[in-house]
Structure 1
Amino acid sequence: MDKGLRDKLRSAVTQMRKLLEKNIGEILEGRYGIHRNGMVENEENFVHLPQEEQTHRHDLIAYLEHIRSFGLNPKGAIEQLIREIAFTHLNRLVAFKMMEARGLIREAVSRGLKSQGFFFYLADHPEEEDRYNAGQQELAYRHFLLWLAQRYQEEIPALFSPHDPANRVFPSHRVLEEVLALINDPELAEVWDEDETIGWVYQYFTPKEMREKARKESSAPRNSYELAFRNQFYTPRYVVEFLTDNTLGRIWYEMQRGETVLKERCRYLIWQPNEVFLSPGEMPPSDEGKVYVRHRPKEDPREFKILDPACGSGHYLLYAFDLLQAIYEEAYDDPDLGPKLQQDYPDREAFRREVPKLILERNLYGIDIDPRAVQIAALALWLRAQRAYQEMGLKPEERPKITRSHIVVAEPMPGETELLEEFVANLRPPALASLVRAVFYKMELASEAGSLLKIEQEIRDAIEAARAQWMAETEVLFKEAARLKSKPKPKETFDVTATEESFWHEAENRVLKALRDYAEKFANHRGYLRKLFAEDAAQGFAFIDVCRNRYDVVLMNPPFGEASKPSKAYIEKAYPRTKNDLYAAFVERGLEWLVPNGRLGAITSRTGFFLSTFQKWREEILLGEARLVALADLGYGVLDTAMVETAAYCLEKV
């Protein structure tokens, strides 16, 4: 996408944000008595509302209570509510437009009320057709868009969750028409078929003036929201390719001893014609005329794990998807890897159909502190998978449903203490309650520290303590069962001799099942609050799972500068060698996540390569825990409006 087109998109996104945020604020205040200054009017003032809107009002107040439990004041909570509803509606409308462009859905937003898909919906829903004919066209269209969102809530829950407050507050039809007019501007027609468009929408939602204002007011981000938008810079495609080619691409290149299509396909892959690939255990001879490449054992591509710990809109993961498709194709015919793949998928075409699903469900992982980013990245990867199916000639109804991905938001566990205690009171065995309380406590800084929160280490003692408690409880249960000549109930026991890893997974599975049961237990507006509690807690456990993994590749455009004020003390303690700049800490953290000989690719400020304050980072991290395998000194003007000189580099963990 050229700069002229990006500027037009920037202008459109800025206008849409202003329209939506202003309108949502007016609706909250005028219809529901929820004011921007934090005041919420008494319920008796709204008994005139239809029952559905009264339910919506109760849910919105419950949602405010929920987000206030994270520490926000009333005014801040309402500002966040407005922002969340606005960006979710924008992201959904853009998603529908991009789905249209790919032929995934019938026309839904391109002509608003006159869209073909809307008329098909009316034909299939007589009650909506009656509503339309009775003059309630706008309400029928709103129901159509919500119905469309519901169709995809299982595959893209981050964007289409039924519990999202955007399902309770819809922009006025006048504003919706203005937003759709901007989306459907003929000058933007060509952008909706491009995978990267959704990333630019994410980038432009926060205007640069807001970033500049925040930096003037405070040198360090004051909270996680500021940290997110102050470091929101889209990574250019050539940088993404350079880093991914020389991490994921190079790993596969070495596994294949140079015989791979990636050698030609990856434009920035560094290789030399005089390379000699060594056999297992073989040491390189002293021959200066050759470049000896140590042996890299082959690995089933289903076991590859690629992480972006500050994923934004998922740009790295989108390109990694491209390479993984080629890797799977080659692996199927590989003499060592092929037999197992062919055993699992005897039919090549069936295997090819499964590959996009495998990539999203087994290979790609992302973390971000910004829920907007998680929405966007999840959507972008799903759309990329749909494009792959389209290229295979598969109709939408013939495509495997992708119901699992690993794009997670780093945020604290829900803060409602009374709901936590209500939930853990019924957990069985009781050792689970202690573990859950510990996890909730250790996750408090998740939104501030993000990927830098070493949660897998923070909860290690809690897991072992729960395991010991469980062991003691199990011993008592079996003794009592022996006395009564009976067997303990399965849900009260567990194999306490299991490894920490299997113990954690069993405990987590039981907690997640309990959360699902808890969420469905009540039907009133407190029930909605419990659903939010359960959903956020489940997201927290998903974040922990991503952090507990080890990865073959870590790719990143991490935040730079100072840590947010709430996380500063933690960062200084957890990263004493790299605490002076976030990007240095991210590189240290990324190397921790790698398997031996795994590779990390990053674009950061270039200052770390020469400033004395980064000496420990260079000596102990870059040259001590890794070896530098590729470096591009890029200078200014790479990251959109960021006034920073950058370098892109790849490291291999030693």
Structure 2
Amino acid sequence: MNKTALKYFATSARKELLKKVEARALKIGITEEGIKKAQIESSDAIYIDGKQLSLVEKKQRDKLIQRIREIGFKNVMEEVAYTWFNRFIALRFMEVNNYLPTKVRVLSSSEPGNPEPDIIKEALSVDLDIDKELVYDLKLHNKTEELFKYLVIKQCNDLNKYLPFMFETIEDYKEILFPEGLLAKDSFLRAMTDVTAIPEHDWEQVEIIGWLYQYYITEKKDQVFADLKKNIKISKENIPAATQLFTPHWIVRYMVENSLGRLWLESYPESPLKSEWKYFLDEAEQEQQVKDELEKIRRKNIDPESITFLDPCCGSGHILVYAFDVFYAMYLEKGYIPHEIPKLILEKNLFGLDIDDRAAQLASFAVMMKAREKSRRVFGQGIKPNICAIQESNWMTDEIIDVLVDKTASQLVQNAQRETLHHLRDTFRDAKNYGSILKIEQLDLDFVDERLKHFASDSDYQGDLLERIYTSEVLEKIPGLIMQARLMSHKYDVVCTNPPYMGSGGMNPELSFYVKQNYPDTKSDMSTVFMEKVFHFCNLRGMVSMINIPVWMFSTSYERLRTHLITNKTLVNMLHFGRGVFGSDFGTTAFVFFNDKISDYRSVFKKLHKKPGSVDHLEQKEQWFFEQDNAYFAEIDDFLKIPDSIFAYWLTYTAIKLFEGTTIERYITTREGMTTADNERFLRNWYEVSLQKIGFGIKTNQQAVESRKKWFPYQKGGEYRKWYGNMEKVVNWENDGESIKTNIDPTTGRIRSHNYNGDYAFREGITFPTVSMGSFSARYSPEGFMFDAKGAMVFWPIHNGRKLTELPVQELTYIMSLS
């Protein structure tokens, strides 16, 4: 699969589609600047700028205007553009794989080199609900573009029967913004069907859907991060673009095989499926008491229909699609009839949540295509995947709540129903900002199901006036809220996900406040918030698997999370990738936890990087996965003996025993150095200034002032060097640092610099860099130096009489390497 070609196509398609849908909006009198009123309005048409719109088009335009008033013009244009993008890639996938019920290609020709789509050639015979007279007239007058639009819309409407989440009905407002000029030689549609750029065999892999989605939002993502540099926080509308990352397939396999697959193998140890799961890691050898405990708690003779699997950040469905494959193999092993299995998996096993409508739409499509791959019957079975794009309840007025309350019930019951609905509304208000980290109580919503049946049972329903007014809105929007409330309040046997990555500095104020209030131990990044949340979704003794940033393994800000995991959960295995999984990234780790505590359990670790900070190719990491010398075994209970309980899995028993001895802080003092806040102004290399202006051999601040020198030697970290060196810098400390101490920030009115060394300035000591991509190094610093925040210092107490050379540098280097 040529990812470069896919990226070029997807980013170009977005630009083209945005232009074309905005052009269509302009033709019906809608722009970012305003909305034109109809010049003439009759019972069956309206006129905008002399152009007639039918009654159906008027309804579509009215819905479009309503949507613009809800979320704004630009957001609606993005929404319509990506909806048509999703529909076209869905049509392309289905036609290449011969999944279209009509068996007629819509976007391309089955004849190589023929630019005309088959559906145009076969327009009069295609099995769709078409007006043959209209089709004949369009063909007769060579109105090919108009005919193509008509046939595509008819095909989409027909597919609504099978894939309603992807293809809305005719009155949907997106139809009126159908992009024009799609059959032009340079259109994105031609690029998509160009087999020299994107070969048809690429479309045979459902994984292409995820890659296209990630690339489609690339430019939007770049813009969001450019805005972050200007201190513009990530709005709820931009969270999906900022946080989506497509997970490499072999890592998906590792996560699913070691969670869902492990659950199966624990129940059926002799299952032949194990040989098919090449990324499954065998359990470490355990002590007998651990084996006995495992034997007591493991589920026996598990029924595949009973296993539930959730991806709470499902994106375009990559993890769910592979989980489908694993479930399918389980059912086959238990003797189920093959064509009955897909329906069971989609209805009983797979569940997904996402904050992004378009991603959830593609995820539903992806699992349906996987089901169609296994059985031709799925399109006729009325299946709706249990995948939910989280929706907001802001539209729920008190009047709508009153409509949903059953007026035939007692007043006590009515009050309880009203309270439940108020709670539902309060929970999901602005839900697009929070997604599946929302904490949901289990609510009794069965009465709402009955009310919806009541409204839907008769299209000519003649209830009271208030009910008639809100019936359409209630039937359209309430089912989604009910579905997500149920999905988010249930617990699952396996929870597996690649969470969103967003540091606290990028969060908008509302999201930041919610995270701090509800997830104080993991608030620094959304990905670590989800580390906490996934266990809330998981059944006791279920499996949790994730890929995440490794900062939680070592940073002091996550010590409480680590302690909680060590004391309450069991780590089965972990892959420590280092950098390179997502390009030149922040580093990653993937892991599987058992949601209960088994004391003294030995976990398996795979270290898939060689040098700290190096960026390795993903293919190289996959190769390292299979090499035995990258494996480590450790009991995470031992990590409690290490300062801050860091996950230093490579430590030997002897190394861990070091931490039970006397700590070095009894013998030394460490000091953070100075921050000048303007190094270009206050620092120089020693050879850039006159030697006569440098104060050498100074012992105290008083001597420095009396020397009347301007520049003084300065320790500032630097490249790796053992024992001595990196002494090139001097700092402007004239008159006790007068210029540095009076450097005021014009915005805040505060002094910008801090940490002026105090009584430790010019003292003999040992300096070490506080930031390093390599090994820890310590160097002797003679008298006469000040020191920087990046060149911190170690001092022996003056009265101690010990030699500086007695600092155990080798031991410290080893210990420092832990983080």
TM over 0.5: yes
2:404 and 2:451 in contact (8 A); partners too: no
1:206 and 1:229 in contact (8 A); partners too: yes
Tell me the residue number matched to 2:345. Answer: 359
Q: Tell me, what secondary structure is at the counterpart of 1:650?
A: strand
Q: Deviation at 1:445? A: 3.0
Q: Deviation at 1:636? A: 1.4
2:312 and 2:354 in contact (8 A); partners too: yes
Pairing of 1:570-581 with structure 2 (within 5 A): 570-581=514-525
1:551 and 1:594 in contact (8 A); partners too: yes
For residues 121 and 426 of structure 1, the distance between their equivalents in structure 2, rounded to whole angstroms, comes to 50
CA shift digits 1:342-379 (9 cap, x unpaired): xxxxxx5xx21110111111111111111110111011
For residues 59 and 230 of structure 1, the distance between their equivalents in structure 2, rounded to whole angstroms, comes to 31
1:180 aligns with 2:189: yes
Tell me the residue number matched to 1:34. Answer: 30
Tell me the residue number matched to 1:494. Answer: none
Tell me the residue number matched to 1:470. Answer: none
Tell me which of 243, 250, 257 is aligned to 1:245.
257
Do the aligned partners of residues 428 and 180 (structure 1) sit closer, same or farther apart at CA in structure 2, a change above 3 Å counting? farther
Q: Deviation at 1:635? A: 1.5
Pairing of 1:367-378 with structure 2 (within 5 A): 367-378=353-364
Tell me the residue number matched to 1:98. Answer: 93
Tell me which of 230, 234, 252 is aligned to 1:217.
230
Tell me the residue number matched to 1:471. Answer: none
1:645 aligns with 2:587: yes
Tell me the residue number matched to 2:47. Answer: 48
For residues 645 and 273 of structure 1, the distance between their equivalents in structure 2, rounded to whole angstroms, comes to 25
Tell me the residue number matched to 1:296. Answer: 299
Tell me the residue number matched to 1:568. Answer: 512
For residues 255 and 401 of structure 2, the distance between their equivalents in structure 1, rounded to whole angstroms, comes to 46
1:357 and 1:402 in contact (8 A); partners too: no
CA shift digits 1:146-172 (9 cap, x unpaired): 222122224322211225432232111
Tell me which of 485, 508, 519 is aligned to 1:544.
485
For residues 249 and 100 of structure 1, the distance between their equivalents in structure 2, rounded to whole angstroms, comes to 33
CA shift digits 1:258-282 (9 cap, x unpaired): 2112211111111159689x9xxx9
Q: Deviation at 1:545? A: 1.3
Tell me the residue number matched to 1:492. Answer: none
CA shift digits 1:105-153 (9 cap, x unpaired): 2211014983223444422542342332342433332222122212222
Q: Tell me, what secondary structure is at the counterpart of 2:177?
A: coil
2:343 and 2:378 in contact (8 A); partners too: no
For residues 172 and 139 of structure 2, the distance between their equivalents in structure 1, rounded to whole angstroms, comes to 30
Tell me the residue number matched to 2:313. Answer: 310
More helix by share: 1
For residues 529 and 328 of structure 1, the distance between their equivalents in structure 2, rounded to whole angstroms, comes to 44
Q: Tell me, what secondary structure is at the counterpart of 2:166?
A: helix
Please provide the CA RMSD for this pair.
3.0
Structure 1 residue identity aligned to 2:178 = F
Tell me which of 447, 453, 473 is aligned to 2:432.
447
Tell me the residue number matched to 1:62. Answer: 63
Do the aligned partners of residues 421 and 52 (structure 1) sit closer, same or farther apart at CA in structure 2, a change above 3 Å counting? farther
Structure 1 residue identity aligned to 2:105 = E
Q: Deviation at 1:557? A: 0.8
Pairing of 1:326-475 with structure 2 (within 5 A): 326-332=329-335, 351-389=337-375, 396=376, 401-413=381-393, 415=395, 417=397, 420=400, 423-424=403-404, 428-429=408-409, 430-431=414-415, 432-455=417-440, 457=441, 463=443
Do the aligned partners of residues 623 and 155 (structure 1) sit closer, same or farther apart at CA in structure 2, a change above 3 Å counting? farther
For residues 200 and 191 of structure 1, the distance between their equivalents in structure 2, rounded to whole angstroms, comes to 11
1:108 aligns with 2:106: yes
Tell me which of 240, 262, 276 is aligned to 2:273.
262
Structure 2 residue identity aligned to 1:324 = F
Structure 2 residue identity aligned to 1:212 = F
CA shift digits 1:566-595 (9 cap, x unpaired): 222222222222222212221211111111
Q: Tell me, what secondary structure is at the counterpart of 2:245?
A: coil
2:22 and 2:77 in contact (8 A); partners too: yes
For residues 460 and 168 of structure 2, the distance between their equivalents in structure 1, rounded to whole angstroms, comes to 15
Structure 1 residue identity aligned to 2:573 = A
Tell me the residue number matched to 1:474. Answer: none
The number of residues matched between the two structures is 560
For residues 527 and 108 of structure 1, the distance between their equivalents in structure 2, rounded to whole angstroms, comes to 40
Q: Deviation at 1:11? A: 0.4
For residues 144 and 402 of structure 2, the distance between their equivalents in structure 1, rounded to whole angstroms, comes to 44
2:47 and 2:53 in contact (8 A); partners too: no
TM-score under structure 1 length normalisation: 0.79
2:549 and 2:589 in contact (8 A); partners too: yes
Q: Deviation at 1:519? A: 8.6
For residues 394 and 408 of structure 2, the distance between their equivalents in structure 1, rounded to whole angstroms, comes to 21
Q: Deviation at 1:533? A: 5.3
Structure 2 residue identity aligned to 1:653 = N
Q: Deviation at 1:296? A: 2.5
CA shift digits 1:466-502 (9 cap, x unpaired): xxxxxxxxxxxxxxxxxxxxxxxxxxxxxxxxxxxxx
Structure 2 residue identity aligned to 1:441 = D
Do the aligned partners of residues 527 and 146 (structure 1) sit closer, same or farther apart at CA in structure 2, a change above 3 Å counting? farther
2:521 and 2:557 in contact (8 A); partners too: no
Tell me the residue number matched to 2:139. Answer: 133
CA shift digits 1:59-104 (9 cap, x unpaired): 33434434644xx4xxxx1111111111111111111111011111
Tell me the residue number matched to 2:575. Answer: 632
Do the aligned partners of residues 530 and 147 (structure 1) sit closer, same or farther apart at CA in structure 2, a change above 3 Å counting? farther
Q: Deviation at 1:514? A: 4.6
Do the aligned partners of residues 518 and 423 (structure 1) sit closer, same or farther apart at CA in structure 2, a change above 3 Å counting? farther
Q: Deviation at 1:418? A: 7.5
Do the aligned partners of residues 293 and 422 (structure 1) sit closer, same or farther apart at CA in structure 2, a change above 3 Å counting? closer
For residues 219 and 265 of structure 1, the distance between their equivalents in structure 2, rounded to whole angstroms, comes to 48
For residues 214 and 531 of structure 1, the distance between their equivalents in structure 2, rounded to whole angstroms, comes to 39
2:162 and 2:380 in contact (8 A); partners too: no
Higher deviation after alignment, 511-520 or 167-176: 511-520
1:602 aligns with 2:546: yes
Where structure 2 has 5 or more consecutive residues not aligned to the other structure, the ranges are 597-819
Where structure 1 has 5 or more consecutive residues not aligned to the other structure, the ranges are 333-347, 390-395, 464-503
Q: Deviation at 1:419? A: 6.5
Q: Deviation at 1:220? A: 4.2
For residues 527 and 55 of structure 1, the distance between their equivalents in structure 2, rounded to whole angstroms, comes to 21
1:168 aligns with 2:168: no
For residues 52 and 98 of structure 2, the distance between their equivalents in structure 1, rounded to whole angstroms, comes to 37
For residues 419 and 144 of structure 1, the distance between their equivalents in structure 2, rounded to whole angstroms, comes to 41
Q: Deviation at 1:315? A: 0.7
For residues 589 and 285 of structure 2, the distance between their equivalents in structure 1, rounded to whole angstroms, comes to 27
2:492 and 2:538 in contact (8 A); partners too: yes
Structure 1 residue identity aligned to 2:277 = C
Tell me which of 510, 534, 541 is aligned to 2:475.
534
2:492 and 2:539 in contact (8 A); partners too: yes
For residues 154 and 26 of structure 1, the distance between their equivalents in structure 2, rounded to whole angstroms, comes to 30
CA shift digits 1:383-406 (9 cap, x unpaired): 1111122xxxxxx46865252211
For residues 63 and 520 of structure 1, the distance between their equivalents in structure 2, rounded to whole angstroms, comes to 25
1:631 and 1:648 in contact (8 A); partners too: yes
Q: Tell me, what secondary structure is at the counterpart of 1:327?
A: helix
For residues 85 and 96 of structure 1, the distance between their equivalents in structure 2, rounded to whole angstroms, comes to 16
Tell me the residue number matched to 1:590. Answer: 534
Structure of larger gyration radius? 2
For residues 230 and 471 of structure 2, the distance between their equivalents in structure 1, rounded to whole angstroms, comes to 37
Tell me which of 67, 70, 77 is aligned to 1:82.
77
Do the aligned partners of residues 608 and 513 (structure 1) sit closer, same or farther apart at CA in structure 2, a change above 3 Å counting? same
TM-score under structure 2 length normalisation: 0.64
Structure number with higher relative contact order (C-alpha < 8 Å, ≥ 6 residues apart): 1
Q: Deviation at 1:6? A: 0.6
For residues 398 and 176 of structure 2, the distance between their equivalents in structure 1, rounded to whole angstroms, comes to 25
Structure 2 residue identity aligned to 1:36 = E
Tell me which of 116, 119, 129 is aligned to 1:117.
119
Tell me which of 262, 272, 282 is aligned to 1:271.
282
